A and B are shown apart, each in its own frame.
Chain A
Amino acid sequence: MSILTFILFLPLFGAGLVAMLPKSAKGLIRAVALASTALPLLCAILAFLSFNGAEAGPGGYKFYQKVAWVTALDINYQVGADGINIGLILMGSIVSFAAVCVSRSIQDRTKEFHFLMLIMIAGIMGTFMSIDIFFFYFFHELALVPTFIMIGVWGRGKNKDYATYKMTLYLTLGALVALVGLVLLYVQSGAKTFDLIALQEQLRNNPISADAQTTIFGFLLFGFGILVSLWPFHTWAPVGYGAAPTATAMLHAGVLKKFGIYGLIRIALPLVPQGAQAWLEVLAWLCMGNILYCGWVAMRQKNLNKLIGNSSVAHMGFVFLGIASMNLIGISGAVLVMIAHGFLAALSFGLSGYLYDQKKTLDMDQYGGALRQMPFMGSLLVMAMMAGCGLPGFANFAGEITVLFGAWKSLPWFVTGTAWGALIIGAVYALRAVRKMLHGPVANDTLPLQDAANYWIKLPYVLLVASLLLFGIFPSLLTDKIRTSVAEVVKSIEAGTQDQQTNLAEESVKTGLDIQLAGQD
């Protein structure tokens, strides 16, 4: 049995246990939930550390396992990890553990909350380790209902119902559109299988016609795009995250949302590369919408969660830009941003949840001088904001700069716009938030903010910041793994498009990554 299967089924098992415990045993419920995310975290760390030495199974996937599920349609439970998703799995388990840690403030219906959260975590884990496109979709949808109920019951704000519905309907729409694309792949490849490895094999030898590829990529792009809040389908994200309870926002914004990007990199790019080329320009324009437009919107936000929500949408633009560059550096950067942003989003929403629990508001005007009252948590918030505007030393910088390098050759104008947007707009809203909330006179308030009282409360945040710093200072821990696997994807793209120019672009930017990595180390 693969170690990944443990990572997937331990939370499910935990959910089952929680369901059987009595309502009043809150301590026990917390303990079970913590254990059923801490153990997968250990497994994930173990898998990450032993990744290089592990034996590669079919398709180059390590920790591979396959169990037949529906033979008539050739759907299999199939998990495995390569350089692209091993980092995501690690990130997902760290964020899951942190999310369970910060949920201690949930006093109302503790049992139900933890049950739903564990189901959601299992869905998240399954999504990123499945290499069967049916299960890939299945696990993502598995997390949908818990998300809906969690926001509805434990959410905040006056219009949480509206936010809940908006988010759920958007996510379902996106998922269904993507499903059409996935089923089209199944049907048109002629392979009659949902097995990603077999599909890849089949399409390498007999690619789908260019027109059909364009159709399929269109479905996948917009389906996945809605899920990743691609402009202009992004309005659900700030509203939804603004209303979501802390843990849900951390899990969704941090990890689950990456489903769409992961799908594009894992499925859309290598399987229908010609389609990807046809949509390239559109994608590049839309990601400008994310980076610039959503950054501008974030500048005007008065509510911290909405600011983080909008800035997280803006960060997704980087990932799309990396994908649009369609070369080794760009896609590697996209994967790196995905992982870094997972930590960052979880950290930001975790901290905003910490603030909300004390003040019951996230209106930034109500805060002031918080750094004096809570030096520890305040500093963490400063770090989160700095990481958000791309300060070197944090993993986000490494990812974003790699994306910019990768995209420079093929999309120079877009890169300029991105850099402009990211550097100036990002800095403006992040620094303003820091100034307004953390510096200045202490807010006149009956409720002074409390700093984290003990190590247990600090643990999840420290874990997330430490991860950001670790991968920011040593990005090669990730990039080494990512690069080998992305090279495979790029190879499929090149084989599919037969474009000599990409080859050239490839060579010239490869040196770029080396320069950048040298600078990092």
Chain B
Amino acid sequence: MNIAASILEIAVIGLGIAVMLADLWLPREKKIWLGYAAAAGLTLILFGSFSMSGNPATLAFGDMYILDAFALFFKRFFLIAAILVMIVSIEYSPKFQTGKGEYFTLVLFALAGMMFSASANHFALLFVSMELMTITFYVLTSFLRNQILSLEAGIKYLILGALSSGFLVYGIALVYGTTSTMDFATLREKSALMTDNPLLLVGLLMIIGGLGFKIAAFPFQFWAPDVYQGSPSSTTAFLAVGSKAAGFALLMRLLFVAVPDITLQWEKLLMVIAGITILYGNLCALPQRNLKRLLGYSSIANAGYLMMGIAAMSASGSTAILYYLYSYMFTVIAAFLIIILVMKHTGAEDIVHLAKLHERAPGLAGVMTLSMVSLAGIPPLAGFFGKFLLFEAVIEQASAQSSYYLLAAVAIVGVVISLYYYFGVIRTIYWGKQQMIPEDIQISPASNAALWVCSVVIIYLGIMPERLMQAATAAVESLKF
């Protein structure tokens, strides 16, 4: 037993329990402080994580749990995401009649699930960590208890999530049945010898389906728009960033560490999934007027771009995914925070509500523009460099296998389509026609700070990519390409 390896998760769970207990004693009007406390605690844990090293890798809990550079990279990612989401939640929490404290606690527990998933080296931990994350999300999505849309989102996520978990477990069972192991390291050796065992392949495909649900990749993405739209905005942000990243962490470890030889046969499958996901997300987002739903479709499209990195099946592809996830996190959280700030009192999140934002709140207008431009992948912002790396990884493969050209072409079409709706948001902000009475916008210091952090990082990652590139490259080395 090597409990010290999982100290970060333990700290997060401890923080969660502390927040839950404090929730009992605090008077109602002060519960908001729990959120600040949790964010502060997470910041401390984040700083603590820099004293740890994933090199050499440490195994714990009977080799189920691995702490390597890859896992540590993702754990820091999840911690940063959770800190930002915590601030978003505080901004959103006036909409919860009861249970603010519970909400913050649940965010922490979901975070613990994500952090465990980054370290999963065994199907049991993979499943448990994913369920820890997913089950908390069932509650988080339906947290607006008196709003029918939120409840509907919760139910949809619950039922479809249960369905996908079912496939996942069944897949794990099949893999265990054929290889009699659930450990990734052992599986790597055994699967190399049985690359055409149909039962093993079926099992793995089911697992990919279960993970595909998490990352909202085609054809497992149908839940995403409805759930994104109905859930509380802070949950949606966490779902878009954390849950998707956890899915990718698991998928990368599964495909490139556990069954690399089988993955090699599946380049076409992965390409097709990536391509269709890109097209589906972007095409559906085109006529969309609801901002949250638009970001839901955009998150599908982004899952497609990220899948390009998987389909490239190379170290540079995986590095690109890690970079892209960071850029995506900051842009999306900034966007959701602005949605919450601008549309505090309106029920629906229609794009029209952003009209004339440049007059009402020039700063918010600027950050929203940054966020949209970054999502569209235009320099000098983070999203551009992320997309550039993904393109580079795909084109690198094109000289050997020309169908990668097709994938690049699809991605280009996707980016051009996406420009239309991302820039539509910018258009509304700067020269849209106003239809509603504008609300006055108040920004709390914490949100202000979060917006500053997001916009600075969006620009920083675009013009100074070196540091994160190095970290991502080092993390990908653990995947043993």
Contact = CB atoms under 8 A, between A and B. Distances in A.
User: Are chains A and B touching in the complex at the 8 Å CB cutoff?
Assistant: yes
Interface of A: 69-73, 112, 134, 138-139, 141-142, 144-145, 148-149, 152-153, 161, 164-165, 168-169, 172-173, 176-177, 179-180, 183-184, 186-188, 212
Interface in B87-125: none
A165 B391 CA distance: 24
B395 A177 contact: no
Given A70-B466, A152-B430, 14 more contacts: A72-B470, A73-B392, A112-B358, A138-B380, A141-B384, A145-B373, A152-B427, A152-B431, A172-B416, A173-B416, A180-B391, A180-B412, A184-B398, A187-B399
B378 A165 contact: no
A169 B420 contact: yes
B331 to A, nearest CB: 14
A176 B388 CA distance: 10
Nearest to B426: A149
Nearest to A177: B412
Contacts of B423: 148, 165, 168
B398 A141 contact: no
Nearest to B467: A70
Contacts of B392: 73, 183, 186-187
Interface in B7-65: none
Contacts of B430: 149, 152-153
B405 to A, nearest CB: 8
A176 B379 contact: no
A149 B358 CA distance: 12
A117 to B, nearest CB: 15
B408 interface: yes
| 9 smallest beta-carbon distances between A and B, as pairs | A176-B412, A141-B379, A183-B395, A138-B379, A187-B396, A153-B431, A173-B416, A72-B469, A183-B392
Contacts of B358: 112
Interface string B427-457: 1001100000000000000000000000000
B415 interface: yes
Q: Is the interface of B mostly helix, strand, loop or mixed?
A: helix
B233 interface: no
A69 B415 contact: no
Listed residue (A72, A142, A173) with the most chain B CB atoms within 10 angstroms of its CB: A72
18 contacts: A71-B466, A72-B466, A72-B469, A72-B473, A134-B388, A144-B378, A148-B423, A148-B426, A153-B430, A153-B431, A161-B427, A165-B420, A179-B391, A180-B391, A180-B408, A187-B392, A187-B396, A212-B399
B399 A188 contact: yes
Nearest to A188: B399
Nearest to B370: A145
Interface residues of B, number: 30
A148 B420 CA distance: 11
Contacts of A164: 427
Nearest to A137: B379
Contacts of A165: 420, 423
Given A138-B379, A152-B431, A168-B423, A176 B416 contact: yes
A142 B419 contact: no
Nearest to A139: B379
Nearest to B384: A141
Interface in B402-429: 408, 412, 415-416, 419-420, 423, 426-427
Contacts of B380: 138, 142
Interface in B358-412: 358, 369, 373, 378-380, 384, 388, 391-392, 395-396, 398-399, 408, 412
Contacts of A138: 379-380, 384
A70 B465 contact: yes
Contacts of B415: 172, 176
A183 B391 contact: yes
Contacts of B416: 169, 172-173, 176
A410 to B, nearest CB: 31
Interface string B237-280: 00000000000000000000000000000000000000000000
A177 B405 CA distance: 11
Contact of B395 (A73, A141, A180): A180
A169 B417 CA distance: 8
A142 B473 CA distance: 27
B269 to A, nearest CB: 23
Contacts of A142: 379-380
A357 B472 CA distance: 53
Contacts of B396: 183, 187
Contacts of A73: 392, 469
A161 B431 CA distance: 10
Nearest to A208: B399
A115 to B, nearest CB: 10
B202 to A, nearest CB: 36
